[in-house]
Amino acid sequence: MKLPRIMLAAPASGSGKTLITCGLLQLLVNRGKKPAAFKCGPDYIDPMFHRKVIGTPSKNLDTFFTKENETRYLFGKTAEQADISVLEGVMGFYDGIGGVTDGASSYELAKVTNTPVVLIVNAKGMSLSVVPFIKGFLEYRKDSHIQGVILNQTTKMTYLLLKEQIEQELGIVVLGYVPKCPELTIESRHLGLVTPDEITGLQEKLQQLAELLEETLDVEKILQLADDAEVLEWETPEIPRLEKKREQKTPRIGIARDEAFCFCYQDNLELLQEMGAELVTFSPLHDETLPSHLDGMIFYGGYPELYAKQLSQNSSMKKQIKEAVLNGMPYLAECGGFMYLQEMMEDMEGRKYPMVGVIKGQAYSTEKLGRFGYITLTAKEEGQLLQIGESMKAHEFHYFDTTNNGTAYQAKKPHGNREWDCINGTENYAAGFPHLYYYSNPKFAFRFLQKCVEWSQEG
């Protein structure tokens, strides 16, 4: 299928990828186009910014989580509904698994999806040295897919001088520049950027940036580069689906979603729907009651540590969740959601608050990243949502730990020998720090929905 697409990548984190990606997306919206947005890797926050601009969910693409065909399928099924797709890279262009490979890097995703790459180079403090710098990225892999360059944090005068040098010596098109804009920066916190809803006047800032990029980027050449992307092919993977029987209702799954629980892969939600689930959101922060007629619940990650007091004080919600779980309702919980379901949780200042209490244990701050990165989870105990020996892909990213990580699954890093036990679980639930990617083993999500149906019928 002919799918116009472009990737914005960079030599390193902090080069301006997210801001320029959002500015370009806003520019495309302003021009009346219908863009689709994607993020390379397991990042949750950058897609929130994309979504703020385009008004529809942004998707993650990750070649650690999915094989090549599945990656192309996940890209294609969204991209075919758009005029143009913009993929934002992760970290440095070649930075991949373990820090010493290009696996699951922006480069690998560009290769798998055959996407033209525009390299965003932070040229602050550089003049002619930017030429050999770019040359290194072009030559490190002969199939780099890098077809254009944008110079960030430079002046128009320097850009005009460097553009000629770069194009003459390297034979690559320079697609514009972005001047230093301190008023358009985005703040960070311990899990990455602050979320879009926390930034005052974000929409106005993005409009300002889009207007600036209209002046400083060669937008027509960028669009042409995207339009020249080669045809992409894939096969639709087989997805298990619940049988539709007259006496069997569609399982209704409650998804915790608010400021405290906002880390969720859009493709996970869409896969559950494709399998036959009805999804309804609720807020453990603001709602006093659960949605009616639920057959299961999912608590994804986020920032519960920032809202520990409010979560603890919402006694009616905690009580209803606990009663549902004690009554046998199936559930899944990841990272922040897992912390919320424990007996106690600390906030960022170390103050302890009682939580739902369906999982024995206390979540506490470590003030440093623990067990960070990609993992493969393998079931090691009988009676789980995965059978013994079955695996799925996940990642961890948290500054908290718990007195009860669980032992139902074994986590193993993709490189080296590091492994550990994790996840509290049975065939009815799974709760732990790992963020799961359902497409890496759809059987996990399907069995969860089956348990929800069984529980509903028993009730």
CA 417 – CA 439 distance, rounded (Å):
25
Strand 188-189 vs strand 173-178: parallel, antiparallel, or unpaired?
Answer: unpaired
Contact criterion met (CB below 8 Å) for 39 and 53: no
Beta strand extents in 199-265 (DSSP E only): 252-256
DSSP assignment, residue 104? T
User: Is 335 in the active site?
Assistant: yes
Residue 291: CB atoms within 10 Å: 14
Tokens (6 digits) for 332? 């899944």
Partners of 256 in the β-ladder: 282, 299
For residue 284, the SS3 value is coil
Partners of 88 in the β-ladder: 8, 39
Phi, psi (degrees; rounded to nearest 5) at 163: -55, -45
Tell me which of 262, 264, 335, 422 is the catalytic residue. 335
CA 363 – CA 341 distance, rounded (Å):
10
Cβ within 8 Å of residue 115, ≥6 positions away? 5, 6, 7, 87, 109, 145, 229
Tokens (6 digits) for 246? 């007259």
Please give the positions annotated as active site: 335
